[in-house]
Amino acid sequence: MTTIRRFCCNDLLRFASVNLDHLTETFNMSFYMTYLARWPDYFHVAEGPGNHIMGYIMGKVEGQGESWHGHVTAVTVSSEYRRQKLAKKLMHLLEDISDKIDKAYFVDLFVRASNMPAMKMYEKLGYVIYRRVLRYYSGEEDGLDMRKALSRDVDKKSIIPLKRPITPDELEYD
């Protein structure tokens, strides 16, 4: 049983068991709070009974014209609550908001090129590798930009993979 609701500041004090996981980054406060202040609909937390935090998703919506899109900045599930499709549920929520409320064309996300388990999961959820971003992570590891088209992109133009990799300074958004 999972209550999914908007993430709020107090959750920052309760998500240690999720964030101590080595693959989950703990950002600085202004990062979280900027997301909360600007895109509260894109920041949701899943809670189990006993008010245990199971996981959360944070993201945003940005871009212009046909590149108006939802972006998944982080999605993470505590080890205790894995293997029950919670990430999928959270991703669907964000996709739904991008699609129905903000009428975005696609949703995208970045993943470490070495993070096979995550990549596989995103592929299962319908994401394709759109392009490779060279040395995206701290100037060391490549990132993969994965995308999923939403209903507004009828011809699925937004997800036609790019042929060549790009460098981080070619990215349209931070």
Question: Residues in the site for other proteins, rule: CB under 8 A?
Answer: 1-6, 8-14, 16-17, 19-23, 26-30, 32-34, 36-38, 40-41, 45, 47-52, 54, 79-86, 97, 100-101, 115-117
**Least CB distance from residue 130 to other proteins, whole Å?**
23
What is the chain's alpha carbon radius of gyration, rounded to the nearest angstrom?
Answer: 16
Q: Give the type of residue at 152.
A: R
**Least CB distance from residue 157 to other proteins, whole Å?**
26
CA atoms within 13 A on the CB side of 22: 1
**Least CB distance from residue 90 to other proteins, whole Å?**
12
Distance between CA atoms of residues 12 and 14, nearest Å = 5
| C-beta closer to other proteins: residue 129 or 166 | 129
- For 101, phi then psi, to 5°, come to -85, -50
| C-beta closer to other proteins: residue 99 or 159 | 99
Residue 132, CA distances (Å) to 73, 111, 163, 172 in order: 17, 10, 9, 14
Per the CB < 8 A criterion, the answer to whether 2 and 46 are in contact is yes
| C-beta closer to other proteins: residue 94 or 159 | 94
User: To 10 degrees, the CA torsion angle through 66, 88, 41, 102?
Assistant: 20
| C-beta closer to other proteins: residue 83 or 163 | 83
| C-beta closer to other proteins: residue 1 or 164 | 1
**Least CB distance from residue 31 to other proteins, whole Å?**
9
**Least CB distance from residue 61 to other proteins, whole Å?**
12
Closest CA relative to residue 71, chosen from 117, 36, 110: 110
